[in-house]
Amino acid sequence: MAYGSVAKPDLMAKIINVVATAMFVCMMLAALLQIFFRFILKISVPWTEELARILYVYVAFLGLILLESEDNSIKVSFIVDKLPFKQRYILQICLNIFSILFLVCLFIGAFIMFKNSNTMNFGTMPFLKVSVLYIPVLISCPLTAFYLVRQLFYFQQKDIEDPDKDKNNSIKEGTK
């Protein structure tokens, strides 16, 4: 959440975490199957590699939702933390608006690609449409945007409770 705020995982984030973990385990199993078939049985089984790649896309985009639900995305906030509350909040609003605009563009592109690739099948798994690659993008964009908006409310609520809490803690930690 916005520079130092504390977000509590909600039910939706917990469910997404379970699904992402299950997909990660399946991805690892597909990769291990590829190793087993290729190096132990000396058989090339291409569907395992393609399945691992598909699951990787799902894990990555579900992970994006989880990162924003707990505000754990990578950021360098050294200078931002020194700004007064009002400037930090305005900066956070701008960053989240740009992020949401990017997510809208990504969603539109994924939707177009989902429609266009609905007639194509994977080469090694002909029962599976290529459009399944765009489902995690279509799911993660609106949910990530929801969490970006929610971050602003947590940011404001946290700093209304104690606007100088982070500054006082960093001063105390720096003197130890």
- The reported pLDDT for the residue numbered 1 is 40
- The reported pLDDT for the residue numbered 86 is 87
- The reported pLDDT for the residue numbered 28 is 96
Q: What angle do CA 159, 80, 102 make, to 5 degrees?
A: 95
10-residue mean pLDDT series, the chain (176 residues): 54 94 96 93 91 96 93 78 86 92 97 95 92 96 94 70 51 47
Residue 139 to residues 63, 78, 107, 114, 116: CA-CA distances in angstroms? 12, 32, 9, 12, 18
- The reported pLDDT for the residue numbered 4 is 46
CA–CA dist 123, 126 (Å, integer): 6
Report which DSSP code applies to 164: T
Report which DSSP code applies to 132: G
- The reported pLDDT for the residue numbered 136 is 96
